Structure 1
Amino acid sequence: MTDPDFTRPLGIELPTGNDPISIRRRVEALEKVLERSFHIPGTNYPVGLDSIVGLVPVVGDLFTAAMGAYMVWEARNLGLPKWKLWRMAGNIAFDTAVGAVPLVGDAFDLAFRSNTRNLRIIRRHLDKHHPQTRIIEG
C-alpha cells in the first residue's frame, strides 16, 4: 500500500505536501524529466523533454517554458528572494527566446540547461535556509 501523499508519474515518487522537503523532491524530479530523462543513443549525453519538445517550433518552447515557470512558482513558495526569482525567470526567458530560433535553438537547448541552473539556485537556498532537506547522494 502506498502513502496517499505521494504520486508516481513516470515511475518517480512525488510528494504532494507544501513543506520544503516535498518541494525539493518535486523540483528535482521536474528538472530530471526536463533535462536528463534519457541518453542520446550511442553517447552518454543526457537529454530531456526540453530538448525533445523544443524541436516543435514555438509550441514546444512555450510548453517547456511553462514547465520551467512551475519551478519558479515553487521557489516563490519556498520564500526565495525576488532577485533570485528574477534570475530564474531570466534563465527560462533566455532559453525560450534562443530555443525558438530554428536549428540554432535546437542545438542551444542541448547545451543551455535553464532548469538545471534554476534547480541549483533552489538547492543553494534550501541548503542554507532548510538544511534538513539536504540529501546525501552516494
Structure 2
Amino acid sequence: MPDCTDQIEHLDRIARTMDRAVRLPIVGVHVGWDSILGLIPGIGDALTLGPAGYIVVQAHRMGTPGALKARMLGNIGIDALIGSIPLVGDLFDIGWKANTRNVALLRKHFESEQDDAPNGAVTSS
C-alpha cells in the first residue's frame, strides 16, 4: 500500500477547517465551520455531515478496517445526535470535534501499521 501521509494531511486540513479554523478571542477556544453551521437550525447540522462523511469514505478507500470505520461513524453519530440539541449541542460541538478525532484515529492506525510492518514497509489491511 502506498504511503498515506499526503492523504492524511489533506484530511487533516479538512478537519481543521471544520473543527478548529478560528480562535475565539477572550476565551481562546478554536471553532470551525461545524460549530458555526451548527447554529443554523436544521440545515446546519446536515451540511456538516458532508465533510465528515468524506473523511470516512477516504478512510475506506485507504483500506482501513471495518472496526476503525465503525468508530469513526460513531464519532459522527455522537456529534450529529448531541449537536442537534439546541444550545447544548452547539456547545458540545465546540469540544467534541468529530472530524479531528477521526483523522487522529486514521493517523494512529497507519502509524501503528507502519511500526508493525517488517523493515518499516506499509502493509494493507
Q: Shorter-normalised TM-score: what interval?
A: 0.7 to 0.9
- Deviations, residues 51-74 of structure 1 (Å, cap 9, x unaligned): 111101121111111210111011
Matched, 1:51 2:35: yes
Match of 2:110 in 1: 126
Name 1:100's counterpart in structure 2: 84
* Higher-helix-fraction structure: 2
Q: How does 1:1-138 map to 2 (within 5 A)?
A: 20-130=4-114
How far did 1:25 drift? 1.5
What is residue 4 of structure 1 aligned with on the other side?
none
Shift of 1:79: 0.9
AA aligned to 1:28 is D
Unaligned runs of 5+ in 1: 1-17, 133-138
- Secondary structure of the residue that 2:25 maps to in structure 1? coil
Alpha-carbon distance in structure 2 between the residues aligned to 1:62 and 1:44? 27
Partner of 2:57: helix, strand, or coil?
Answer: helix
Provide the secondary structure at the position in 2 that maps to 1:79: coil
Which 4+ stretches in 1 moved above 2 angstroms? Answer: 128-132
| Structure possessing the higher relative contact order (Cα contacts under 8 Å, 6 or more residues apart) | 2
Equivalent pair of 1:20/1:130 in contact (CA under 8 Å): no
After TM superposition, the score normalised by the length of structure 1 is 0.77
Q: CA RMSD in A?
A: 1.7
Amino acid across the alignment from 1:58: G
CA contact (8 A) 1:65 1:93 kept: no
What amino acid does structure 2 have at the position aligned with 1:119? V
What TM-score do you get using the length of structure 2 for normalisation?
Answer: 0.84
Q: Percent identity?
A: 34
Q: How many residues matched?
A: 115
